[in-house]
Amino acid sequence: MLCSAQFNNEITMQIIKILPTFLWFALLCAALFLFREEIRALLGKLRGVEVGDVKLSFDIEKSIEAAVRLAEKDKKWPDVVVPEKDKEQAAKRAGREKKSMEDACFLWVDDRPENNNNERKMFQELGAFVDFAKNTEDALELLKNGKYDCIISDMDRDGDPEAGTKMLSELKKKCCNLRVIIYLGNYDADKGIPPGAFGITDRPDELLHLTLDVMGRRR
């Protein structure tokens, strides 16, 4: 009987030792059950942000690559090269600053708008809108509604190699304070940025950086 009583005491002591752990486990299970919907919603949101950001970066890089491949086939864009690290940096920055691009509206002036479909897709991935005008006259007409955040323009249009520069002069005359980014193929860095332009480039990743710079200043 003594051995039995001692055995029972040992069992009781072991139960007392593990009881707090069991109670905490039971409490945790109860909390998980009671707040299961809230926890599921939170995890889903966090997962969605992570997956969404990864997908956005991937789509942006794809658009940049597609734009470069198209440029390589165009005689006006003979030397455009975008290193992998630069594509990644542009995509990551776009992911960080995508809020500034949501509902942005760009006016793109180019007599060959089909050549910019990949860049337009890049902006659409960020929630921005792009309208095209094929010449300065159409652009000035569209600008009357005042809905645009930025202008992107080529330089050589309809056989006039200075069409973009002339448009900058027209915008100045009309007191248009929108920033203008020149996006062209035969880019000569030695000439610098045309007077009145915010920036100039022949690379889609740099175009993305420039538009992010513009939107960061506007919002």
The order of strands in the sheet holding 180-183 is: 129-133, 105-109, 150-153, 180-183, 199-201
Amino acid at 63: S
The pLDDT value recorded for residue 109 is 97
pLDDT digits (tens, 9 = 90+) for 112-134: 999 899 999 999 999 999 999 99
The pLDDT value recorded for residue 45 is 44
- Tens-level pLDDT at each residue, the chain (219 residues): 445 555 556 666 666 667 677 666 777 777 766 766 556 555 444 444 444 577 888 888 888 888 888 776 666 666 778 889 999 999 999 999 999 999 999 999 999 999 899 999 999 999 999 999 999 999 999 999 878 999 999 999 988 999 999 999 999 998 899 999 999 987 778 889 999 999 999 999 999 999 999 999 876
Count Cα neighbours of 122 within 13 Å in the Cβ-side half-sphere. Answer: 27
The pLDDT value recorded for residue 100 is 93
C-alpha separations of 52 from 8, 56, 212 in Å: 59, 6, 19
C-alpha separations of 141 from 65, 88, 106, 133, 156 in Å: 33, 37, 14, 9, 20
Tokens linked to 159: 């056989």
pLDDT digits (tens, 9 = 90+) for 39-55: 655 544 444 444 457 78
Q: How would you class 7 by CB atoms within 10 Å of its CB: exposed for 0-12, middle for 13-18, buried for 19 or more?
A: exposed
Q: What's the pTM?
A: 0.73
